Structure 1
Amino acid sequence: MQQLNAIKFTNQGSVTLRVRSEQSDQTSCRLCFEIEDTGVGIAPTEVESLFKAFVQAEAGNKLNQGTGLGLAISQRFVQLMGSQIRVQSTLNQGSIFYFELGVNLPQAVCLASELPKQRVIGIAPGQPTYRILVVEDVEENRRLLVKLLTSVGFEVRQATQGVEALSLWESWSPHLIWMDLRMPIMDGYTAIKRIREHPHGQETVIIVLTASAFEDEREKALMAGCDDFMSKPFQERLVFDKLAQHLGVEYIYTVVGKDSPKLFVDSLSPEDLAVMSSQWLEQMYQAAYYVDPEVMNELIKQIPGSKSTLSRSLIDCINNFKYDQIIELIRPLLPNPL
């Protein structure tokens, strides 16, 4: 507040804010605050009443601005913290308002070394093709979630409101639905109720997407029949954790960080891919050539479980945009490559 006053009553010159610390011992210190201006100053006779409520100095009365409460409130705040605002001022030369606060210093804590961060790069071989339905009317949110899920190998479809979601649920039977609550035409609450009323409606896991922190909204969604919640904006790790929790999905991971290992694909040779059929090789080559990660992830699911290293290598390659390496590995195995 006093900084605003300093600016208001300083027509020329400067307004300076200073903060310095004076350490008392290893556990505490004093913080010193000063606001100095080169403004109109305050007469000695007015200093005593300066911090009283609804009282203004002569300069304030001339400007006809404010209520005379600013300094009184500021003083009360500082008093609650155990200090007092003081003032030094010379009429027509400027003022200095200052106060000190005693604070406790934080104590150093030994933190355990952080574990390497892992990032999901694919679905482990030998699992079913998981069908995931994303129901979200905000295009940016919907596209982000769809891209995240398809990039690791989930089969994904999307809807923008409840009626469309019900139609897809009936015709496609997804394993899990990410359901937004607030949508036009038919909202998420109604869509969940309609699904749960169906004889097979309990077979689908429904996780609500919500930006609300209100407990009554969550209770309403639970009463409608949802299985879980995820807050927006969502975190990548939490998305995959929820899928693993409710569907039992197992993933292939890579370590994230400066010490991350080299791509698995660097250790592959054309002979490693020769175990796959010529039709599969042709399709994978075409998908890599035209940069189609969705088709490539679908083809990777056909790799036998005994060749998990091959699956991990190709998934790692897709997630790091190394399509050219896949092309070069397959090229010698094809009679007439592009």
Structure 2
Amino acid sequence: MPVLQVNSRSIDQKNGEIWTAQADSQPIHHKSDRLLGEGSAFSFALTAQICATLETQGRSLGTVVDIAAADRGRRILVVDDNAEARMLIRDLLEPYGFAVMETGDGALAGKSVDSFQPDLIFMDWRMPEIDGLAATRQIRASKTLRQPKVVILSAYAFEENRREALAAGANDFMRKPIRKEELYALLEKHLGIHFVRESEAGREEKPQEPELTATDLAGLSAERRALLTEAARELNPAKMMAELGRIRNENPELAARLHDLVKNMQYRRLWQLLGIAGLA
């Protein structure tokens, strides 16, 4: 079947038009005129509805500055074959105490859900082996897997793409490139968490967190505590941050709060919590 016939049929199904024109001539509709023996340039026009975002739905998004203490530690799985895209989401979430797991293969999504038990998955649509919609269908078809929320990520921005994602079992759809405030708003919508935002009038008051005590560190394994103590005693920020990255696997909320101490150079307080004496 000729290529033009295939293309025109697809475009007609979407109520569009296709036409061809030669240089220095007016467009000629393909159904009534033919250009034989000459090269031609074909153009087409479609009418499509752009997928609504949280902004276009009228929701006001402010700059996120914090998260309520009770909402730290939620588990997020990122499935995307693009390592930079996975790292972007990790960097947006870990500072607020989220535990993040990554996989670059849609075929491994179900296995990751089984082992990690995420609260929500950010699932890329286009992946080389199994795409995000197929992976979502597999998860939804399972009778043994925990069923997390699923948000499909795609550069396609048409409403029909959103409907297709929802039909596959996703809970929502987000356009790429990712905008951090929209990502945070989706987490609030589907996980019922609360981010603190900075309004145009000024910074909102942060929720009060109970003061960190030595008792909060009691749950650390002996190895993790010893290595963190060694790094703190040396006043080595890079080493402390590396150890906090490992502690995050055991206790994401505690790791996030200790991270704040190191980031703000509150070493005296960290020594007190770890029972280290001698810091002047």
Q: Provide the TM-score with structure 1 as the length reference.
A: 0.50
In 2 relative to 1, CA 176–261 (structure 1 residues): closer, same or farther, beyond 3 Å? Answer: closer
Verify the 8 A CA contact 2:153 2:176 in the aligned structure 1.
Answer: yes
| Conservation of the 8 A alpha-carbon contact between 2:120 and 2:149 | yes
Structure-2 separation of matches of 1:170 and 1:299: 19
The SS at the match of 1:206 is strand
Q: Could you say which residue in structure 1 is the equivalent of 2:159?
A: 215
Q: CA RMSD in A?
A: 4.2
Candidates 64, 72, 76, aligned match of 1:119: 64
1:133-191 Cα shifts (integer Å, max 9, x gaps)? 10111121111001211221111111112112122123322221111110011111111
1:225 to partner: Cα distance: 1.1
What is the Cα deviation at residue 223 of structure 1?
A: 1.7
Question: Which residue, 116, 123, 135 being the options, matches 1:179?
Answer: 123
Secondary structure in 1 matching 2:241:
coil
In the superposition, relative to structure 1, how do residues 247 and 160 fare at CA in structure 2: closer, same or farther (>3 Å)?
same
> Aligned residue for 2:168?
224
Q: How does 1:254-273 map to 2 (within 5 A)?
A: 255=198, 273=213
What residue ranges of structure 2 are gaps of 5+ in the alignment?
1-22, 25-59
The residue number in structure 2 matching 1:330 is 270
Report if aligned partners of 1:189, 1:224 keep a CA contact under 8 Å in 2.
Answer: yes
Q: CA deviation at 1:275?
A: 5.7
Paired residues of 1:121 and 1:152 also in contact (CA < 8 A): yes
Alignment of 1:1-338 (within 5 A): 117-125=62-70, 127=71, 129-200=73-144, 203-251=147-195, 253=196, 255=198, 273=213, 276-277=216-217, 286=231, 289-292=239-242, 294=245, 299=251, 301=253, 321-322=263-264, 324-325=265-266, 327-332=267-272, 334-335=275-276
Q: Which has the higher strand share?
A: 1
Q: Report what 2:30 is aligned to.
A: none
SS at match of 1:158: strand
Aligned 8 A contact 2:151 2:172 in 1: yes
How many pairs are equivalent? 208
CA distance in 2, matches of 1:263, 1:248: 18
User: Contact (CA 8 Å) 2:62, 2:181: kept in 1 or not?
Assistant: no
Larger Rg: 1 or 2? Answer: 1
Q: Quick one: which amino acid aligns to residue 276 of structure 2?
A: P
1:150–1:294 contact (8 Å) kept in structure 2? no
Cα distance 1:295–1:214, how it changes in 2: closer, same or farther (>3 A)? Answer: same
* Counterpart amino acid of residue 290 in structure 1: M
Going from structure 1 to structure 2, the CA distance change for 1:208 and 1:232 (only over 3 Å counts) comes to same
Contact 1:136 1:183 (C-alpha < 8 Å) held by counterparts: yes
TM-score, with length taken from structure 2: 0.59
Displacement, 1:335?
3.4
Choose between structure 1 and 2 for higher RCO, CA contacts under 8 A separated by at least 6 residues: 2
Q: Deviations over 1:181-213 (max 9, x none)?
A: 100111111111111111255721110001111
Contact 1:121 1:316 (C-alpha < 8 Å) held by counterparts: no
Q: Which amino acid aligns with 2:253?
A: K
Take 2:245 and 2:272, find their aligned partners in 1: how far apart are those partners?
24
State the partner residue of 1:70. none
